[in-house]
Structure 1
């Protein structure tokens, strides 16, 4: 197993359980103690985990931590592509849809080229850019306006007021985290208010969130788990999370990431 493959396995285990022991990784990976420790050093230097005595733990994030768009855009790329492809299959021609800000909804925007006669409402500058670049004459893009956040979302009273007068068939919602008690959350208070206005405008709510979002909690709840008519995530979602979400959301869709299982085998 190559170093990057070992490190992918280690990261996945940390995200799944919250902590790993060097001794357990030695057995699982079939390598020496020193090799495991070097892998942990590499991952810690990149800020992906925290080293502790005898092992490592997940990075403890604050509920107000908000990475910028560029930082988030390079995370979980295969998962986001798979999720976006599945989500695009839920979009019907001739409908009015909403896309919140976020890198997964931005990825979804790139999958909408073949769907005719859409009206797309968004508070994301990045999403609007993608849709406008297509030059489609059968597509209307409505950008809400508002104050710009680190995620390139437009938020605040102007955005909220614009959304309160609209009625959308489906809203696709990107989130910072999802958890059993806190629901779908964001680290930005202003963004949560605008996202809630999007949810209120929706006939159906489809949440897009890769498996690493499970267990992450932002400062503000956008929606409870049972407010999602559909949650599109990926097959990396832990079994315990599948059980919880399967009971709470209307429909749980697990997108397959090509090559995922083979790469880590």
Structure 2
């Protein structure tokens, strides 16, 4: 493969996967890590990618915007389904309490719940609350507040007030982006504040995030990486990312 062809393939792969490590690129293309770093330097100068520690991400991976709920729900749907099925293994035993953050992956968990979960569930998600309301074995507590149309999540002073008074066994939290340096991050400050309060209210924090979120950074960090107990993700996670997250003490579950 000629140098130009390899660089084009590298740029395409980074765009498709969201983040790729130098080691994985070297293995994939059968070249040295030094050659990969030179390729990445060229691609960065051309504006095709952005280099980060240990690899590269697409140029738009650090952003202040976010897609709508419908668009996000249809993105990587198969991976999100698998993550949701794996995440229910971390539900507390009957009689326990659980917090469901708003998100397209956490919402998929609702269809995977056992027939009679016998749980107290707290959520700021309108769609999740609507699906849980019909259950006779779930004590549902819906957090009020202003509802953001883009995520259908309640935000503002009211959910923060309530979350400051509760303690749950497990919180299932979604994130727009995840890195070791920037932690869990999201574009909106109001949503970040609620997510931060959810993390602080839980004894165990389980993050449900497909691998495209890993290696990306959004505007506002709502939790350091050390606040995460478990990450449930898909098999496309980069080997180097998994190793680094496990080094941070996180249990990484591949769905």
* TM-score range relative to shorter protein: 0.7 to 0.9
1:11: how far off?
A: 6.7
TM-score normalised to the size of structure 2? 0.77
How large is the Cα RMSD of the aligned pairs? 2.7
SS in 2 for 1:244: helix
Q: Is the 8 A contact 1:101 1:152 kept in 2?
A: yes
Whether the aligned pair in 2 keeps the contact of 1:227 and 1:249 (CA below 8 Å) is no
Which structure has more relative contact order (CA 8 Å, sep 6+)? It is 2
Distance 2:163 2:72 in 1: 26
Q: What's 1:66 paired with?
A: 66
Q: How does 1:1-265 map to 2 (within 5 A)?
A: 10=13, 14-17=17-20, 57=49, 58=58, 60-91=60-91, 92-132=93-133, 135-149=134-148, 150-255=150-255
- Per-residue CA distance 1:176-223 (angstroms, 9 max, x = gap): 000121011111111111111111111111111110001111111121
- Number of residue equivalences: 218
**1:14–1:81 distance in 2 versus 1, CA, 3 Å:** closer
Question: 1:17 deviation in Å?
Answer: 3.0
State the secondary structure of the residue aligned to 1:140. strand
TM-fit CA distance, 1:226 = 1.4
**Please, which runs of 5 or more residues in structure 2 have no aligned partner?**
1-11, 23-27, 31-42, 50-57
Task: Quote the residue 1:31 is aligned against.
Answer: none
Provide structure 1 residue ranges, at least 5 long, that are not aligned to the other structure.
1-8, 20-24, 29-50, 256-265
1:51-98: per-residue Cα shift (whole Å, max 9, x none)?
999996535145311211111000111111111111111112221100
- Classify 1:115/1:251 alpha carbon distance in 2 versus 1 (closer, same or farther; 3 Å): farther
- With normalisation by structure 1, the TM-score equals 0.75
